[in-house]
Amino acid sequence: MHDGRAQEAVRMSFDEFCGEIENLAKKYGRDMPVKVEQNPRREIAKVYGPHITPVEMAKDGLDGISELASDVAEHHPHWGIISGCSSILDTLLERWDDSLTGEDLSQIRWDLERISRALESQK
C-alpha cells in the first residue's frame, strides 16, 4: 500500500553497481560459486554460473559478434569479414567436442572465400 511518501530512486554509477555485484558474489560464493567478469570502462558486467566452461564463455562472446554481424548493413565495409568470421567460429564452437563434418568444412571454405572477397574490396 502506498503511504503517501515519495520514493526516491536509488542512483548509482556503473562502478558502484559492479561493486554491488562483487559483494553479492562474495556473500553467496560459498553456496553458489559464480564467476564475475567486469569491464567498467566498456560498461559490461557478466555473471557466469558455477558450471561455466571456456567454450560456453566463448559462445556467449560470439553471440555479441553474431548480433553485430546481423545488425550491420551488408553495405558496411567490414560486414563480410565479421559475418564470415562469426560463422566460422560458430561452427567450430558447436563442434568443439566433435569432428567437423564434410558440410561443416564446405561451409567454412565458403566463409573463407567470402572473407577473402571482403578483404580484397578493402583495397
Tens-digit pLDDT profile for residues 60-117 = 999 989 888 888 777 788 889 999 999 999 999 999 999 999 999 999 999 999 999 9
Q: For the chain, list the strands marked E by DSSP.
A: 35-39, 44-48
CA nearest neighbour of 81 among 64, 65, 102:
65
> What is the percent of the chain with per-residue pLDDT over 70, rounded to a whole number?
92
In angstroms, the CA 31 to CA 68 distance is 36
pLDDT of residue 18: 86
> What is the percent of the chain with per-residue pLDDT over 90, rounded to a whole number?
41
Do residues 44 and 66 make contact, with C-beta atoms less than 8 angstroms apart?
A: no
Q: What's the one-letter identity of residue 76?
A: H
Do residues 59 and 93 make contact, with C-beta atoms less than 8 angstroms apart?
A: yes
Instruction: Flag whether pLDDT at 8 surpasses 60.
Output: no
